[in-house]
Amino acid sequence: MSEKKAEKQTLERDLDVQREMMEGEYQEIVIVGGGIAGLATSIALRRMGLQPLVLEGSKELRVTGAAISLAPNAWRALETLGVAHKLTPFYAPLNTMVFTDLSSGKTISTNSLLNISDDLSLRSVHRKALLEALAEELPPTAIRFGSKLSSIKNLPDSSLLALHLEDGTVIKTKVLIGCDGVRSVVAQWLGLLQPVHSGRSAVRAIAVFPNGHGFTKNEVYQVLGEGTRSGFIPLNDKEVYWFMTYKSHLDQDADLWKHPELIRDTVLQRIEKAFPAKFVEVVRKSDLETTSLAPLIFRYPWDLFFGHVSKGNVTVAGDAMHPMTPDLGQGGCSALEDAVVLARNLGETLQKDGRTEFDEKSAEEALKKYAKERRMRTAGLITGSLLSGWLQGETGWLVKMIRNTILYRYLFSKLPQVVDYDCGKLPVIGSHS
Ligand SMILES: Cc1cc2nc3c(=O)[nH]c(=O)nc-3n(C[C@H](O)[C@H](O)[C@H](O)COP(=O)(O)OP(=O)(O)OC[C@H]3O[C@@H](n4cnc5c(N)ncnc54)[C@H](O)[C@@H]3O)c2cc1C
């Protein structure tokens, strides 16, 4: 390249940067992603008087996944966010888990699993209801739909970042929180490793019984088979959430992903002869609108220690930080914990400095504290989920023995201690509480 051409390119780049500095819209705090983590983080920050903007790539709330089980830690966080009371009256507490071993037909039940108190009991809720309950807490201008982040740049001689969206918009921000799920652009910018496939996939759907299903409403029913873990949970008198996890290669199900009918029929073919009739009936009644298939992805737990969970004024929360397999049902619950812990740390820093706005150092310090607080907890949840998935999905006699003795008799009795996690309350800043 000639010297003149190189000079021209450098000049053009400098002009682009200057244009970004001058023209881009400014937002003090930007949250990328309007899923559970993003909406909850926004509520938590707004409850302290801050005004984050949520950028959501989809045109509307993304409610894929049918339903979600929420454990005491999630309910505590939702109470802090002022949202729990909008959901608990409509969903029955779950207090019994019944496991059936497919090959032997034997049943093991675990009672009073997570019954810490009625309000904090394990409950399965519609994802749509949870996301809507969260979104309702935010003013309409707080979420910008159809705004997909494509890249992040540091602005020179400034602590600001320039966020480039797919539609060409540029937004400058002081604090960036990536809640953009397993394929997080923000996590990549932080240098975290790409999450990996666990070797399993999951199908989920809601089955509808217009005349009532007749199942026990407080019970989680699970079937453990040849490399599969399946189950169902009544959501109310007429709807039952069901799931099946199974071993798979990442591209094995690619043909099915966008075809709910094919997903349901493939599961039916697989289970029709081998599974208990009640489970087959539930799958048959699937509402195709809610039927989906997803590969199960996780982050290596050590990445949370050796990688950057926060760098300067940038951090990640929810699946962007700690994608995990769903075997402890903790991905969404811990995303809610993240939201409160992150906001608490930001709020405490402002409170300590007697400020209502961040300077470069105060936000960085708060995000570092947040990352420190979350590392061990979420690495433990990723590891526990993998272990639980492995023990429940394998069929060898040794694994089965470990599963039936250690997992169900011992580890499950310890589960309440893991999920009865209190992520604390939000500080009061100025006149906000
Ligand atoms: C089969 C299965 C069962 C599960 N069951 C449970 C359970 O019972 N209990 C539980 O607690 N958890 C469960 N989970 C985990 C739970 O679903 C996730 O942990 C949770 O949804 C994570 O929320 P999030 O907000 O971090 O990410 P997401 O829900 O993925 O939200 C990310 C959001 O960011 C948006 N986005 C992505 N990229 C961009 C971008 N570049 N720009 C702008 N927006 C962007 C997306 O559109 C999306 O709305 C399960 C997961 C699976 C796969």
pLDDT in tens, 209-257: 999 999 998 999 999 887 888 999 999 999 999 999 999 887 777 777 7
In short, whether 62's Cβ falls inside 6 Å of ligand 1 is: yes
In short, whether 332's Cβ falls inside 6 Å of ligand 1 is: yes
Asked if the model's pLDDT at residue 77 lies above 90, the reply is yes
**To which H or E segment does residue 111 belong?**
strand 107-111
pTM of the predicted protein model:
0.93
Q: H/E/C letters for each residue in 297-357?
A: EECCCCHHHHCCCEECCEEECHHHCCCCCHHHCCHHHHHHHHHHHHHHHHHHHHHHHCCCC
Task: Say whether domain 10-195+299-419 belongs to CATH 3.40.50.300.
Answer: no
384, 82 in Cβ contact below 8 A? no
Å from CA of 331 to ligand 1 middle: 8
In short, whether 326's Cβ falls inside 6 Å of ligand 1 is: yes
In short, whether 389's Cβ falls inside 6 Å of ligand 1 is: no
DSSP string covering 402-419, please? HIIIIIIIIIHHHHHHHH
List every span in the chain annotated with CATH 3.50.50.60: 10-195+299-419
Which residues, 6+ apart, have CB-to-CB distance to 127 below 8 Å?
Answer: 63, 64, 65, 66, 67, 68
Å from CA of 117 to ligand 1 middle: 27
In short, whether 171's Cβ falls inside 6 Å of ligand 1 is: no
List every span in the chain annotated with CATH 3.30.9.30: 198-297
Å from CA of 36 to ligand 1 middle: 7
At 257-313, the pLDDT tens digits run 789 999 999 999 999 988 999 999 999 999 999 999 999 999 999 999 999 999 999
Task: Say whether domain 198-297 belongs to CATH 3.30.9.30.
Answer: yes
In short, whether 124's Cβ falls inside 6 Å of ligand 1 is: no
Label the pairing between strands 228-234 and 219-225. Answer: antiparallel
Q: Can you list the alpha helix ranges (DSSP code H) found in 176-215?
A: 185-190
Q: Can you list the alpha helix ranges (DSSP code H) found in 24-164?
A: 36-46, 72-80, 127-136
Å from CA of 29 to ligand 1 middle: 21
By three-state DSSP, how is residue 138 classified?
A: coil
Number of the ligand 1 atom closest to the C-alpha atom of 332: 11
Å from CA of 318 to ligand 1 middle: 7
What's the chain's length in residues? 433
